[in-house]
Structure 1
C-alpha cells in the first residue's frame, strides 16, 4: 500500500514547546495553528495523522516487541490473564462484536489501564473498570514496555487536548482537570491474516465508531485501516505513514461537543497475507466527569444529549460490544 492518503497530516511539534507564551508553555501562535488544523480535520474526515508527536521510537518499538511476543504464546498460556470485569488482560479471538456486525472481529488484544491499587479511593468507591492491571508473569517484558507506552500516550493526549480545546473555542486548559484519574486504556491488538477470498463481512474490526474522547493509534506497515468518507460514504485507506500516529474523534467527544466534532465509522480488513499489529490508546477522562454539551458552550435549547458521566457512557458501549460483559451479567 502506498504511503499516501487523503487524510490530513498535522505537525504538532510546536505543542511540546517550553516558551512562556501561554499557561502550558506553548507559544499562542503554535497552539493556534495546530488548533485550526484540528478543527478542519475534526469537522471534515474526523481522522488525521500527527507528526512531531514526541513519542520516542524506542518506546514504541519495545511495546510492539513485547506485545508480539505475548500474542505468539499458546492460547492456553495467554488465558492465564484472560480479561476480567475491569477490562484488563487478554481478550481472546471472537470476544468482540461491533454493533450491527454479523460476525465477531478477527482479532485478539491485551488491554491495560491506569494502575491503581485495591485500596485506592476510586476502587474502594466501586468505580467500574478501576484497579490493578493483569500482568503476565510468563511474559515479564510486557509490563515495563506497555507501561512506558501508556505513559507516553497520556502525555501526548494531554498536549493534543489543549489544542482541541482551543479549536472548540474553549480555554486551553479546559480538559486538564477532567484527566486526574483517567479511564485511558491502551490495547495491543493482533490480527491474523484474512484470505483475499474471505466473506466480505468478516473484518479484523467491523465498521464502528470509537467509544471515548480521542483515540491515538500506532499501526504496523501492513495497512488495513479504512475510514468512511462522510460525503459519499466510500471507504478511504488510512495507511501507515512513517513517524506518525493516527488520531480520531470518539463518540464521547462527539457528544460533549454536540456533534461539532462527530466520530467517524472505520474498520480494519487485514488482506496483507501477514499478521498485523496495532496499539490503540483511548484517551478518556475520569469516570465521574459529566459529559454535557452545555459545558462546551452549546445553548441548552440546542443540546442534543442529556448529561452522562464518562464512565457510564463507556460502560454502556462495553456492554454492547464485548462478550465477557454478557457472561458477567449472566453470572449468579
Structure 2
C-alpha cells in the first residue's frame, strides 16, 4: 500500500494543492488524498485549474434562473432521466423527517437520443433540457460541468495511484459516466422551522466522487466518529471533494463515505454547485478488482453502479414515487443483486 489508512475523529477538513498533478508531484498528492479519503472522506482542493470566471458565469445563470416565476421553472421540470428543475419539497434524504429546503436544476453528460443507452431507457442518460429563453444558460452551466469533470478525472487518477493501481485504472469505467451536475439554491431558512429542518438532511453521497463549489454563506457540516458535526466552511478558490458510497465499497472501506448535511442558519440565501461523478451504468463495483491486500477479505458483494444509483434516487426524490428501473430486469449478471450488500 502507498499509504497507511487512519480513521481518526477529525476536527478539521484538510486542504490539498493538486497543482502538482500537472507536473511531477503525483505521489505526494496521492498520499495526501488517500489519507484524507480514509480519515474524513472529505478534503478541499486548490490548484485545480478551473477559472473563477467559469464559476461566476454559472452563478449568474443560477441566480437568473431561480429568480424566475414558478411556472417558468416548471417548464423544465425534472424528467425521468433526472434532468431539469426540482422544486422545494422535491427531495428528502432517507432518514429525514422533512423534505430538504432547497430547489435545484440538474443536468448531466450530454448523450444523444439515438444512443443505445438512451433508447434502452431507465438508465439516467440522455440529452439535457435547458431553459428555452435563457440563451447563455447552457453554455455557462455545461462549460463548468465539463471543467469539473476533467478535474474529477485527475482526482481519480491520483486516488488510483494511492491505492497502488495504475493512474489510468478508472479510465475505462468512466467512458460514459453517470455524471450529474446541479445548481442548488437554498432559500433563507426561518428560525421557527426548528432543529429537524435542513437545507439537505444528513446523508452519504450515493455514487463515486463528488466535487462541490459553495458560496460564501456556508452551512456544510461533516459528521466525525465521535458524533460531532464538523464545519466545512467556504474557502475561496477551493472545491470540496468527498468520497461516495460506491468508491467506499470499491476500496473495501479503505476510503470513507461520510455523513454530511447543510444547515443554513444565516438567514441568507445560499448557492452551491456540485458534480456527482459516477461510473458507467454497467460498471461492476467489486472490491476484488481494487488491489485488495492478500490478507484482506472483500466486505461487499458486487453491485452494478447504475442499479445502486437508481435505487437511491427512487428513495430520495419525490418525482420518482413508484418508479421502477427497467434496467433492473435482465441487465445485471445473475450473480449481482439490484443493490448488493455487505458480505
Indicate whether the TM-score tops 0.5: yes
- SS of residue paired to 2:142: helix
* 1:234 and 2:240 correspond: no
Q: Does the CA-based 8 Å contact 1:49-1:245 persist in structure 2?
A: yes
Aligned length: 314
Q: Which runs of 5+ in 1 are unaligned?
A: 18-26
Q: Does the CA-based 8 Å contact 2:199-2:262 persist in structure 1?
A: yes
Q: Which runs of 5+ in 2 are unaligned?
A: 1-10, 325-343
Counterpart of 1:276 (choices 262, 267, 270) is: 270
Alignment of 1:167-182 (within 5 A): 167-182=162-177
Q: Does the CA-based 8 Å contact 2:210-2:274 persist in structure 1?
A: yes
CA 221–295 in structure 1, closer or farther in 2 if over 3 Å, else same: same
What is the Cα deviation at residue 121 of structure 1? Answer: 2.2
Moved more, 35-44 or 125-134: 125-134
Q: Does the CA-based 8 Å contact 2:80-2:122 persist in structure 1?
A: no
Counterpart of 1:184 (choices 171, 176, 179) is: 179
* 1:319 and 2:328 correspond: no
Alignment root-mean-square deviation, CA = 1.6
- SS of residue paired to 1:43: helix
What is the Cα deviation at residue 154 of structure 1? Answer: 1.0
Q: Does the CA-based 8 Å contact 1:209-1:251 persist in structure 2?
A: yes
Alignment of 1:1-332 (within 5 A): 6-17=12-23, 27=24, 30-126=25-121, 128-230=123-225, 232-298=226-292, 302-326=297-321, 328=323
Q: Does the CA-based 8 Å contact 1:294-1:300 persist in structure 2?
A: no
Q: Structure 1 CA distance, aligned partners of 2:94 and 2:112?
A: 33
Q: TM-score, normalised by structure 1?
A: 0.91
What is the Cα deviation at residue 327 of structure 1? Answer: 5.1
Q: TM-score, normalised by structure 2?
A: 0.89
Q: Does the CA-based 8 Å contact 1:85-1:328 persist in structure 2?
A: no
| 1:118-175 deviation digits (Å, cap 9, x = unpaired) | 1012212335111110111022222001110111011101110010101122111100
Q: Structure 2 CA distance, aligned partners of 1:101 and 1:139?
A: 35
